[in-house]
Amino acid sequence: AARRGSGSGSGGAVAPKAKAATYDYDLVIIGCGVGGHGAALHAVEQGLKVAIVEGHDIGGTCVNRGCVPSKALLAASGRVREMQDAMHLQAMGIQVGAVSFDRQGVADHAADLASKIQGNLKNSLVALGCDILTGVGKFVDSHTVSYGLPGRVDVGGQVTARDVIIATGSVPFVPPGIPIDGKTVFTSDHALKLEWLPDWVAIIGSGYIGLEFSDVYTALGSEVTFIEAMDKIMPGFDGEIAKLAQRVLINPRPIDFRTGVLATKVVPGIPGVKPVQIHLTDFETKEEVDVLEVDACLVATGRVPYTQGLGLPALGVETDRRGFVPVDEKMRVLDKDGKVVEHVYCIGDANGKYMLAHAASAQGISAVENICSRPHVLNHLSIPAACFTHPEVSFVGLTEEQAREKGESEGFEVDVVKTSFKANSKALAELEGEGMAKAVFRKDTGEILGVWIFGLHAADLIHEASNAIATGQTIQDLKFNVHAHPTLSEVLDELFKAAHVEAPSKVPVTA
């Protein structure tokens, strides 16, 4: 029988909604990526009896085929790039000889890290008493989930739960006309294995995934060509940040790019024998304009939700045309008429609100709060994002372009402040003064609309801004924050102090 106890979390005792003995579990989570794992930990902390249904790998895409192993590749290749930069090292009085690397050793580092983190996640669930049910989950009704694996009679079954969370994640999106052979034409799933290093790699898409892999490949000796459908590279970035990133991350490196074109046909090759052919079509005219011949092609065109086979019709639920499960602001699943399906939630990439691992975890915690009768709505504009190139790009909230459009439509003035890493003592000590930070805010109230950082350890610096947005602080509130000297955090200190707002500042509390 399921149990509900009093949790040790911020909300205190969990309010029971029904006789607990009616169900096998209080909560069943379908999928154990970062989102499902985060939801499970929070639910157990609240005293809920939890089971996770997972048909593949604990940790999902992020841990096994995404953020975690890619950071290992970036760490290793980044060291190679740093040690090969003789001029940079000589400026600090350091001399090094020839730098070499072992491709398999770099690949093993990524695989070992993924395996270690996966084990840590599984152990944490087991230690907390969370049951892990092996199989692919499917709804029988809103309180019943069946699970199993194709061709396996030794695993599977059916369980009931008061509430169910869908956390099935996503898979790489491959456009029509691009056959994946896993060797010469591949997605990030294959690229992370680093089975070989092509001399020339075409990367379709110049978003986070494409940029990070361009950083890895060029550091390890490959040449890269970006193929981007939009009229500029890095189209999702703030325009000013994208221009600076292009000057630092693209132009000095063996990287070129083709914008405003689609890869409408790709013919796989044979490593070292036959090149990959990529037929390029003009985005506007739809006419073929060129055929590229490269050694390999990485398809980095985003991701699509993994929601097929969930049995959603049993709940009266239909996904949208891209496969996302519709939800409301409390992560509750909506049926085809837009009505809430009671006791069923969906988090992470499967709902399409914000396709990042930490966003999925935050949504999972929010869903559990709502399950426990503590209404909670996650502010997605407070969720930070980062691209782990060398140097890094990070942001939270809107681009300057988006903010100005919002200000024009809603009738308020937008202001922007900027600061440079060139004025930061710690960055200069590292000889890493290339970079900038910018904040976009409402001139009348000081509301922070967006913050962008490009520079050394930008991914670590963004959280002061994201947490300020999450807690409703204004840019003038942040002027009173104290930052250790000399640290990179002073980049943000100078940024916030440079802002001028019409609204009066709050008087700081004195001890």
Distance CA 256, CA 224 (A): 7
Q: Is the peptide bond before 391 cis (omega within 30 degrees of 0)?
A: yes
Give bridge partners of residue 387 from the DSSP assignment.
393
113, pLDDT greater than 90 = yes
Other CB atoms within 10 A of residue 251 CB: 10
* pLDDT at site 21: 54
Average pLDDT (450-460) is 98
Instruction: Give residue 7's pLDDT band: very low, low, confident or very high (50, 70, 90).
Output: very low
* pLDDT at site 348: 97
92, pLDDT greater than 50 = yes
Encode pLDDT of 325-373 as tens digits: 999 999 999 999 999 999 999 999 999 999 999 999 999 999 999 999 9
User: Can you read off the two tokens belonging to residue 56?
Assistant: 């593949």
- Report which of residues 57 and 477 the model is more confident about: 477
Distance CA 14, CA 348 (A): 24
> In percent, how much of the chain has pLDDT > 70?
94
Instruction: Give residue 374's pLDDT band: very low, low, confident or very high (50, 70, 90).
Output: very high
505, pLDDT greater than 60 = no
* pLDDT at site 503: 63
Average pLDDT (119-130) is 92
Average pLDDT (391-403) is 98
201, pLDDT greater than 80 = yes
| Residue whose C-alpha is closest to residue 475's, from 446, 505, 507 | 446
pTM of the model: 0.91
Write out the E strands in 426-481: 436-442, 448-455
274, pLDDT greater than 60 = yes
The mean predicted confidence, pLDDT, of the chain is 93
Tokens 């979390």 belong to 9
Q: Are 162 and 43 in contact (CB under 8 A)?
A: no
Instruction: Give residue 149's pLDDT band: very low, low, confident or very high (50, 70, 90).
Output: confident
Query: For 309-322, b where at least 16 C-beta lie within 10 A, e where not — what string?
Result: ebebeebebebeee
Phi, psi of 449 (to 5 degrees): -95, -30
Single-letter code of the amino acid located at 111:
A
* pLDDT at site 19: 43
* pLDDT at site 238: 97
User: Can you read off the two tokens belonging to residue 36?
Assistant: 């499902």
Tokens 């590749």 belong to 73
Instruction: Give residue 172's pLDDT band: very low, low, confident or very high (50, 70, 90).
Output: very high
Reduced to 3 states (helix: H, G, I; strand: E, B; else coil), residue 20 is helix
Reduced to 3 states (helix: H, G, I; strand: E, B; else coil), residue 155 is coil
Instruction: Give residue 12's pLDDT band: very low, low, confident or very high (50, 70, 90).
Output: very low
Tokens 């699970």 belong to 147
Maximum C-alpha span of the chain? 73
3-state DSSP helix/strand/coil percent for the chain, to nearest 5?
30, 25, 40
Encode pLDDT of 207-220 as tens digits: 999 999 999 999 99
Terminal C-alpha separation, the chain: 53
Active site residue 457: no
Average pLDDT (309-333) is 96
User: Can you read off the two tokens belonging to residue 404?
Assistant: 């100005």
37, 190, 485, 500: the active-site residue:
485
Distance CA 151, CA 169 (A): 23
